[in-house]
């Protein structure tokens, strides 16, 4: 198991298409963070960017979901290299 350093973390919307990353931090208001966790987005989970943009399409634990984060929350990920 690899250790992930948040100093190399980037916002999830900066991942290129088909790039995977591991969530290292969630930032924002508590109610928004709680909702992300209810959706399965929490520190340590693996995310794959399907379609980046202001509204991005992600694959998380085999599920596809569309998110528009804006200023409500920020998901920081450690990109995974093959």
Q: Quick: pLDDT tens for 18-32.
A: 999 999 999 999 999
Give me the sign of the Cα torsion angle 22, 11, 27, 69.
negative
Domain spanning 7-79: CATH 2.30.30.90:
yes
Parse the chain into domains and list their residue ranges: 7-79
How far apart are alpha carbons 81 and 65 in whole angstroms? 23
Residue whose token pair is 């979901």: 65
Q: Quick: pLDDT tens for 40-79.
A: 999 999 999 999 988 899 999 889 999 987 778 899 999 9
């Amino acid at each position: 198991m690899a250790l992930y350093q948040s100093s190399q973390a980037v916002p999830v919307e900066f991942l290129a298409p088909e790039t995977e990353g591991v969530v290292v931090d969630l930032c924002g208001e508590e109610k928004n963070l709680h909702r992300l966790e209810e959706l399965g987005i929490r520190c340590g989970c693996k995310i794959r960017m399907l379609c980046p943009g202001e509204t991005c399409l992600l694959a998380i634990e085999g599920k596809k979901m569309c998110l528009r984060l804006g200023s409500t929350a920020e998901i920081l990920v450690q990109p995974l290299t093959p």
